[in-house]
Amino acid sequence: MALDYPTLPGDIDHLIADDHAIVERQFQHLEAGRGNRRVLVDQISLELALHAFAEETVLYPIWSEIGMQDEHDDAEHEHQRIKELLVVLGSTEPGQDEFEQALTELIGLVRHHVDDEETEELPEFRRKAGPERMAQLGKEFLAAKRQAPTRPHPSAPDEGLAERIAGMLAKPLDHVRDLLSGKQKEAATDASGLLNPQAQAIVDAHSSLGPLSFEILTPDQARKQPGPKEAVEKVMAERGLEGPEAVGSVEDLDIPDGAGGTQRLRVYKPADAGTAPLPVVMWIHGGGWVLFDIDDHYDASCRGLTNKTGAIVVTPDYRRAPEAVFPASHDDVLTAYHYVLQNAASFGGDASRVAIGGESVGGNMAAATCLQLAANGQPLPLAQVCVYPLTTGEQFGESMVDAADGRPLNRALLSWMAMHAFEGRPDAAQDPRIDLLGWTTEQRAQMPPTLVITDERDVLRSQGEQFARDLEAAGVATTHRHYAGVMHEFFGAAAVLDEAEQAQQEAAAHLTRAFGGVQQGRGSL
């Protein structure tokens, strides 16, 4: 389920293929008899309703204009039947003959539709419409999804302005129906049945907050949605747990960024720090270079590492895209690292004992910072930790298929992040600060001792695993730890997820060994 020609993350054909991959994986769960059958079908119905509306209002009118009328007619006929089957599935229940027959027909029809689209129609469309139009059409495709009704409407107009108007009228009614039925509270969960109970509770809690799909929103809209932090806090509240985890002190500093301005650097100190200089860990948050900041989910990671290592943890609040695209975030992180080395003593740190790490794109920037330091002949951190890191801008490995539907990070959201992070920089994915898998053996060999942490339900799993293999083959002291049954963003959930606590302990032990000390226990203040 992948296009066999190159695309950019925001191209309309790229976005369409992401949708296909997500729905196909959900079909596979249904066929394997795992997961929540009702929720999976409701999620598929939402995906296909938004997808069909966006194709019919953005893509199909152009097909008619450029001489693809036969393809247009066939696709619209299939969309009509898909909508009819989704109505049946929405009005019946799993196990009923009508439900199961409609589902079987839907799976076969969608797979046939996808095969035609990906092998014949989309390649022809790109050739005839021109590759330069694909990015703009991608933006229109996402905008159409934001306007789309959330349920199938077989009797509505199927193209152009009439369909847009019908969609605008149907969307608020669908919204009310989704609220009353509870479907909106399930739309963002992972219904695969592949998560362990604690991890499932977190994604269920996030979904219960009713977030809209990040991957179809504008960045400003997406930043206002509840995220992993709110999900963990909800589970903590349900269990009567207090938070956040206490540390000795937290202070924000204003330091230079990479563009002559300033950025925040948050400094976490352990309790009973004493007067002797402490080792320093620079921890870099994730969010695809677009979402989240140091006030979000990653605060919990920093607090946990502070208490478990007894070190000072600092985290830079780097600039984000699309306001500041690549390499702005990387420049800010490198600038922050230099600041820490030069000013560690001012906040009680020992500049001779510094390590680096991060989560998701933070893991990418940790390694990229080490690469830049090595290239400039500058001292490297004593160790690095890369937690479910992004190590290539390409859709790499089997996890892009088997975790395409994962939550909170699915394949479509990953493309959305890259689309905004690399806007105007189509060459960014080939830059060695992004393409860590493209490094030479000599570049890999310069890395400090590295811990790579990956997880099962994560589209970045395969590329993290490959990065660990590459470093080990280059002679770097490398440890890879994989956690089954959990999802992207699990690391900061130690208060309610055993695997997160274990992963933080693993990271702390790796860092403490590099500092030449003994790992600390969890703080109590």
Which active-site residues does the annotation give?
Answer: 360, 458, 488
DSSP code string of 319-354: --TTTS-TTHHHHHHHHHHHHHHHHGGGGTEEEEEE
Nearest-angstrom CA–CA distance, 223 and 301: 20
Alpha carbon distance 519, 34 (integer Å): 40
- Is the distance from CB of 406 to CB of 190 less than 8 angstroms? yes
Contact 332, 318 (CB under 8 A): yes
Two tokens, residue 283: 């921890």
The pairing of strands 262-269 and 249-256 is: antiparallel
Number of alpha carbons in the 13 Å side-chain half-sphere of residue 127: 9
CB neighbourhood size of 418 (10 A): 27
DSSP-H helix ranges across 182-297: 197-208, 219-223, 228-238
With a CB cutoff of 8 Å and minimum separation 6, the contacts of 493 are 202, 228, 232, 300, 500
Contact of 164 with 57, CB cutoff 8 Å: yes
**Of 406, 366, 391, 251, nearest to 314 (Cα)?**
251
DSSP one-letter code for 252: E
* Separation CA 51–CA 145 (nearest Å): 7
Calpha distance 471→492 (Å, rounded): 25
Which residues, in sequence order, are CB contacts of 376 under 8 Å at separation 6+? none
Three-class SS state of 496: coil
Please state, in angstroms and rounded to a whole number, the distance separating the CA atoms of residues 360 and 372.
19
Residue 309's identity, in one-letter code, is T
